């Protein structure tokens, strides 16, 4: 793919195929991300349809590792081919310039200054470096989707053919400009090479992520021996050894050893993780201090690193809504340019030269009036048809759908790569655009504003040991932070757990299960929930509940309340800084929680929330309804970490999951903040706003360039100012337009 017109054509071709439900095409990575119902269509049919339209492609499995620079032979051959074409084109361009100098008497090179020599140069340029452009342009035109190659091919071909006519039939009075094809191809190929080099840099962040996974690992055998194996050969359950300085090859759990592990490459966390037996390590982390023995848990595409790379790749393919206009314009742009070139040709041939006779004097060389003269840059047109040809060629070459096609995806690619290196996973260009336009951010409390690692601070019960034993036994199946607090307290008191069965979760309320020994039903959850089931509630418990701050958990056995447990969570160290930064960015904040009113109000006062910005004792469906209500008035983001937050994350304009939360929360969210720092959120939103500003700059440049350059190329300023935009200068401007867009994207900073 060369330009936005190609993207539009590929996308239309893909969506026309049976079974393709969605297709996101990226000009920067030259990749398409498909949602394909294989029961209705096949990948082979899709590939064949693309090949028939002049866009040969190959399938890349999700399990296939990302290609790193230098790992793909075909990529290396493509670079060499481009470099060779460019060198040949520049050599021909140099000879053409020497020919002009000889023709003007500046150099004494009689053969090089002759017209047949320039004709031979143009022929070699078309057959050599220009052949792929001509072939690609013809294929695109035949498939009904003219591309950048079509425009350049038309410009180069028409200049060459017109010069041949003037050479063999001098009586037509046309100027010979054999230098135009040579210069056009030289500048176009130079621009494409520079653009490709700059485009290559846009994907570096993703390639650096892929390089975090080592190629080999040290496998620990049953007899204690160590064997070096390929990472792809590892299987869950096997054990590997990590030496200081080794990258973690796969996801696993530390079995032996203590060491500091650098996880900054994945999460952006500046402080190392203290790894000990039981610590989970993600692939791509760096062991710093001491040897570790780790048991393999997940390999291949299931590892944390592979999932991050997949998310980033998919994000780069998903378009921002702002890109839609550019893609629609770029898709029809080639037809418009061809029409404009034809209109310019007819106007200056039939009307323009008669209306303004002076234009021929402005474009003529003056001192060389012979029709066989080999014209210089933009001069030499002595007849209306000669001038019309030259202006039509300039229109074809100066047009740049490339800049329109690259304006958005280059910025999205750079932004998602930068974000991934800092542990912020945006799921697409549409997510970045939404994040840039937020009005309000709503936070869940437990595990988001607080650490999510609460501790038991008080127990009100006749038999605290029995209460803790039953509660912890039931909660051992849960990953809720409150369950962890109960289990931690039972472990601290060395209370043995009892076997339970038929455990079920009542969403947002608590757990119900049965003791296997006697079949008695046990309930653990919100006091209000247990009260609502008709459970008898003593006055002492009611008084204690009313006075107690923090979260309360009630425990009941059969129809008897055993007591209440007070659990206090701890505030994140960076939460005040994060909220202050968000408020400075002009965002409204709110906090929704399933916790008790007393606990929520107390935390709200600490963090500067107004009462109207707080919600307490909210079930998941209530959070969902409140978010939908807010969403009718403004753009709202929801920040959460738990299973009960998943519906709200999905319903919000922007769902944001904290990376330490549950997998379902991360899968539902649009933006995942890996690591344990909430102050990453204002930085990620700041990056989103800078990204959208860059996109707007690029689109303004791309549209503005074409709106200004095309009328000048068509001769709009020729009658009044005698300004003629020569085809070679037009080609140079076209190349610079694309390069400018890519370089501006690379200037993005987090």
Range of weakest confidence among 77-86, 322-331, 469-478: 322-331
H or E element at residue 461: strand 455-461
> What backbone phi and psi angles, to 5 degrees, belong to 551?
-90, 135
Are 255 and 220 in contact, with CB atoms under 8 Å apart?
no
Position 533 pLDDT exceeds 70: yes
Q: Which class in CATH covers the domain with range 455-568?
A: alpha beta
Q: What is the DSSP string of 338-364?
A: HHHHHHHHHHIIIIIHHH-THHHHHHS
Instruction: Provide the β-strand partners of residue 514.
Output: 501, 521
We find that the CATH architecture of domain 4-62 is 2-Layer Sandwich (3.30)
Instruction: Provide the β-strand partners of residue 551.
Output: 567
Per-residue model confidence (pLDDT) at position 169: 83
Out of 149, 251, 444, 569, the active site residue is 444
Q: What is the mean pLDDT of the chain?
A: 81
Measure the CA–CA gap between 649 and 638, rounded to whole angstroms.
6
Are 415 and 428 in contact, with CB atoms under 8 Å apart?
no
Measure the CA–CA gap between 364 and 353, rounded to whole angstroms.
13
Query: Positive or negative CA dihedral for 424, 425, 427, 429?
Result: positive
3-state secondary structure of 426: strand
Span 493-505, average pLDDT: 88
Place 586 in a pLDDT band, splitting at 50, 70 and 90: very high
Closest by alpha carbon to 115, among 99, 131, 126, 139? 99
Q: What is the DSSP string of 727-743?
A: HHHHHHHHHHHHHHHHH
Q: Higher pLDDT residue, 323 or 642?
A: 323
Residues of the chain with CATH 3.40.1110.10: 455-568
Distances (CA, A) of 320 to 70, 327, 424, 577: 31, 11, 18, 30
Measure the CA–CA gap between 327 and 8, rounded to whole angstroms.
6
Superfamily of domain 427-451+571-674: HAD superfamily/HAD-like (3.40.50.1000)
Closest by alpha carbon to 177, among 160, 157, 155? 160
> What backbone phi and psi angles, to 5 degrees, belong to 435?
-60, -35
Measure the CA–CA gap between 17 and 581, rounded to whole angstroms.
48
Per-residue model confidence (pLDDT) at position 237: 92
Closest by alpha carbon to 63, among 423, 307, 317, 375? 307
Are 566 and 552 in contact, with CB atoms under 8 Å apart?
yes
Are 637 and 435 in contact, with CB atoms under 8 Å apart?
yes
Per-residue model confidence (pLDDT) at position 372: 36
Question: Averaging pLDDT over each range in 124-133, 206-215, 370-379, which range is the top one?
Answer: 124-133
Range of weakest confidence among 248-257, 597-606, 693-702: 597-606
Per-residue model confidence (pLDDT) at position 535: 80
Place 380 in a pLDDT band, splitting at 50, 70 and 90: low
Measure the CA–CA gap between 512 and 533, rounded to whole angstroms.
12
Residues 6+ apart with CB under 8 A from 316: 26, 28, 29, 206, 409, 412, 413, 416, 417, 428, 429
Q: Higher pLDDT residue, 537 or 351?
A: 351
Measure the CA–CA gap between 191 and 172, rounded to whole angstroms.
35
Position 623 pLDDT exceeds 80: yes
Range of weakest confidence among 446-450, 551-555, 740-744: 446-450
Compute CA 393 distance to the chain's CA centroid, rounded to the nearest angstrom.
Answer: 37
Measure the CA–CA gap between 233 and 406, rounded to whole angstroms.
39
Per-residue model confidence (pLDDT) at position 142: 81
Question: Averaging pLDDT over each range in 202-211, 315-324, 621-630, which range is the top one?
Answer: 621-630
Range of weakest confidence among 108-117, 141-150, 193-202, 340-349: 193-202
Place 66 in a pLDDT band, splitting at 50, 70 and 90: very low
Compute CA 112 distance to the chain's CA centroid, rounded to the nearest angstrom.
Answer: 51
3-state secondary structure of 16: coil
Q: Higher pLDDT residue, 78 or 670?
A: 670
Residues of the chain with CATH 2.70.150.10: 215-302
Size of the chain, expressed as the number of residues it contains: 750
Measure the CA–CA gap between 399 and 396, rounded to whole angstroms.
6
Position 357 pLDDT exceeds 70: yes
Angle of helix 680-713 relative to helix 575-584, nearest 10 degrees, comes to 30
**Triad 352, 356, 362: Cα angle to 5°:** 105
Place 255 in a pLDDT band, splitting at 50, 70 and 90: very high
Q: Is 222 a catalytic residue?
A: no
Residues of the chain with CATH 3.40.50.1000: 427-451+571-674
Are 255 and 239 in contact, with CB atoms under 8 Å apart?
yes
CATH of the structural domain 215-302, one choice from 3.40.470.10, 3.40.50.2000, 2.70.150.10, 2.20.25.650: 2.70.150.10
**Triad 87, 158, 140: Cα angle to 5°:** 75
Instruction: Provide the β-strand partners of residue 441.
Output: 589, 637
- C-beta contacts of 509-514 below 8 A and 24+ residues apart: 509/619, 510/553, 511/474, 511/475, 511/477, 511/478, 513/474, 513/477
Per-residue model confidence (pLDDT) at position 576: 92
Instruction: Provide the β-strand partners of residue 260.
Output: 274
Range of weakest confidence among 52-61, 228-237, 284-293, 344-353: 52-61
Per-residue model confidence (pLDDT) at position 272: 81
Instruction: Provide the β-strand partners of residue 296.
Output: 252
Position 371 pLDDT exceeds 50: no
Burial group, residue 519, by CB count within 10 angstroms (0-12, 13-18, 19+): exposed
H or E element at residue 229: strand 226-230
Measure the CA–CA gap between 476 and 469, rounded to whole angstroms.
11
Position 132 pLDDT exceeds 50: yes
| In the chain, % of residues over pLDDT 90 | 18
| Residues 432-468 pLDDT 10s | 999 999 999 999 887 788 876 778 888 888 889 999 9
Beta strands 510-515 and 500-506: pairing type?
A: antiparallel
């Amino acid at each position: 793919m060369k330009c936005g017109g190609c993207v539009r054509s590929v996308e239309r071709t893909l969506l026309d195929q049976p079974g393709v439900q969605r297709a996101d095409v990226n000009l920067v990575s030259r990749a398409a991300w498909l949602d394909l119902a294989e029961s209705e269509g096949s990948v082979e049919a899709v590939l064949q349809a693309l090949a028939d339209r002049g866009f040969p492609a190959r399938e890349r499995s999700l399990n296939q590792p990302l290609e790193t620079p230098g790992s793909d032979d075909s990529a290396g051959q493509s670079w060499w081919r481009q470099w060779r074409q460019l060198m040949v084109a520049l050599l021909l361009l140099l000879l053409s310039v020497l020919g002009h100098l000889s023709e003007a008497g500046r150099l004494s090179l009689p053969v090089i200054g002759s017209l047949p020599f320039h004709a031979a140069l143009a022929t070699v340029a078309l057959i050599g470096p220009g052949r792929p452009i001509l072939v690609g342009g013809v294929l695109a035109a035949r498939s009904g989707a003219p591309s950048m190659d079509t425009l350049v091919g038309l410009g180069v071909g028409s200049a060459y053919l017109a010069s041949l006519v003037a050479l063999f039939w001098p009586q037509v009075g046309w100027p010979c400009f054999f230098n135009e094809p040579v210069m056009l191809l030289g500048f176009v190929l130079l621009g494409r090479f520079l653009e490709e080099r700059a485009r290559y840099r846009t994907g570096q962040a993703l390639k650096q992520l892929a390089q975090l996974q080592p190629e080999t690992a040290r496998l620990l055998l049953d007899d204690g021996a160590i064997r070096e194996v390929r990472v792809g050969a590892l299987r869950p359950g096997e054990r590997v050894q990590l030496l200081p300085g080794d990258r973690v090859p796969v996801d696993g759990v530390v079995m032996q050893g203590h060491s500091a592990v650098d996880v900054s490459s994945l999460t952006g966390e500046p402080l190392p993780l203290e790894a000990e037996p039981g610590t989970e390590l993600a692939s791509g982390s760096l062991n710093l201090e001491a040897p570790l023995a780790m048991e393999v848990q997940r390999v291949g595409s299931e590892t944390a690193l592979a999932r991050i790379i997949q998310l980033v790749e998919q994000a780069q393919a998903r378009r921002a809504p702002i890109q839609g206009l550019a893609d629609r314009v770029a898709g029809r742009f080639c037809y418009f340019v061809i029409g404009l070139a034809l209109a310019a040709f007819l106007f200056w041939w039939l009307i323009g030269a008669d209306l303004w006779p002076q234009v021929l004097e402005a474009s003529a060389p003056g001192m060389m009036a012979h029709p066989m003269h080999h014209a210089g840059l933009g001069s030499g047109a002595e007849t209306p048809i000669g001038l019309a040809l030259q202006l039509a060629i300039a229109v074809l070459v100066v047009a740049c759908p490339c800049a329109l096609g690259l304006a958005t995806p280059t910025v999205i690619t750079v932004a998602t790569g930068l974000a991934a290196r800092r542990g912020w996973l945006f799921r697409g260009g549409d997510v970045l655009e939404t994040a840039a336009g937020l009005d309000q951010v709503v936070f869940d409390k437990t595990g988001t504003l607080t650490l999510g690692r609460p501790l038991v601070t008080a127990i009100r019960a006749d038999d605290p040991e029995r209460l803790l034993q039953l509660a912890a036994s039931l909660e051992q199946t849960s990953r809720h932070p409150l369950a962890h607090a109960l289990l931690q307290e039972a472990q601290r008191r060395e209370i043995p757990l009892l076997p339970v069965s038929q455990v079920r979760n009542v969403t947002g309320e608590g757990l119900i299960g049965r003791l296997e020994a006697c079949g008695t039903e046990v309930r653990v959850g919100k006091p209000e929930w247990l009260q609502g089931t008709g459970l008898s509630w003593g006055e002492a418990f009611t008084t204690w509940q009313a006075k107690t701050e923090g979260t309360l958990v009630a425990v009941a056995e059969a129809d008897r309340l055993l007591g209440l447990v007070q659990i206090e969570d701890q505030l994140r160290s960076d939460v005040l800084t994060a909220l202050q930064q968000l408020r400075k960015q002009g965002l409204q904040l709110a906090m929704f929680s399933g916790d008790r009113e007393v606990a929520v109000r107390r935390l709200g006062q600490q963090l500067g929330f107004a009462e109207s910005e707080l919600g307490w004792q909210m079930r998941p469906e209530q959070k969902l309804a409140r978010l939908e209500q807010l969403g009718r008035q403004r753009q709202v983001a929801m920040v959460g970490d738990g299973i009960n937050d998943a519906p709200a994350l999905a319903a919000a304009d922007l769902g944001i999951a904290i990376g330490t939360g549950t997998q379902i929360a991360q899968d539902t969210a649009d933006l995942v903040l890996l690591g344990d720092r909430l102050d990453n959120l204002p930085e990620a939103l700041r990056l989103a706003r800078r990204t959208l500003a860059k996109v707007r700059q690029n689109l303004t440049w791309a549209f503005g360039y074409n709106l200004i350059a095309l009328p000048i190329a068509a001769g709009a300023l020729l009658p009044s100012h005698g300004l003629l935009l020569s085809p070679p200068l037009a080609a140079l401007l076209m190349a610079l337009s694309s390069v400018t867009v890519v370089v501006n994207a690379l200037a993005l900073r987090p």
